[in-house]
Amino acid sequence: MTTRAGGVSAPPWDSLNLGDHVGDDPAAVAANRARLRERLPDEPGWLRQVHSARVVELGRDSAREADAAVTRAPGQVCAVLTADCLPVLFCDRAGSVVAAAHAGWRGLAEGVLEATVAAMQVPPAEIVAWMGAAIGPEAFEVGDEVRQAFVDRHPEAAAAFVPQSAAGKWRADIYELARTRLGHAGVRAVHGGGRCTFGEAETFYSYRREGVTGRMAALVWLD
């Protein structure tokens, strides 16, 4: 996963902004993506993310409006962009398939992680998932409708929400919510998590903190 350091974008996108849809100078974004490309086997399969549960297979699906990508081709790079939402990277233990998912609360509630696991077409017990940096539970305030969207599906998800002093407001642990959804999908090996994009301003972009800001990339590929 990239951080905000090491690029050419001016504030408030400083400096390694990889998002081409956030108001940054297109030339700066292109330069940042070129710097990233030098470290990769191929150009990433950039998606048009829409907070959905749609998954595409790189090299097979021509449409790129999706929030997760899967590939079985060596050297093909799955990528998602985030700035508070949760990026989750997947591989199977045999090294035959990888995937990347963008899980904001809407996509997470709609089942983007479960859809990604299904698209990998391997036994879920053979899948390893890694959670990149996202907004932490001390900063992620949500309303009743968000809590209900998760609790209606899995009652145990209630443990991921802490009530706040304001009526109808909760602090949500997106990492715990993702672990719950992955567990129900049969994925037991889940790693990463614990960083906070909102609180670590020198390292990460945060849409909730800054409004106008850049995007980081989480990437995975097969050798």
Provide the sign of the torsion angle of the four alpha carbons 2, 51, 75, 31, taken in this order. negative
High-pLDDT (> 70) share of the chain, %: 100
- Are 127 and 190 within 8 A, CB to CB? no
Mean pLDDT of the chain: 97
pLDDT of residue 61: 78
pTM beyond 0.85: the answer is yes
CATH of 26-221, one of 3.60.140.10, 2.120.10.30, 1.10.10.60, 2.102.10.10: 3.60.140.10
CA dihedral 178, 37, 3, 71 (to 10 degrees): 10
pLDDT of residue 63: 79
Tell me how far apart the alpha carbons of residues 205 and 215 are, in angstroms, rounded to a whole number.
6
Q: Residue 159 has what DSSP assignment?
A: G
Q: Which of 58-67, 110-119, 120-129 is least confident?
A: 58-67
Q: pLDDT tens digits for 28-77?
A: 999 999 999 999 999 999 999 999 999 999 988 777 999 999 999 999 99
Tell me how far apart the alpha carbons of residues 21 and 137 are, in angstroms, rounded to a whole number.
27
Q: Where are the domains of the chain?
A: 26-221
pLDDT of residue 59: 87
Alpha helices in the chain (DSSP H): 26-37, 105-110, 112-120, 144-151, 174-184, 207-210
Smallest CA-to-CA distance from 88 within 48, 122, 55 is with 55
Residue 84, token pair as written in the block: 């508070």
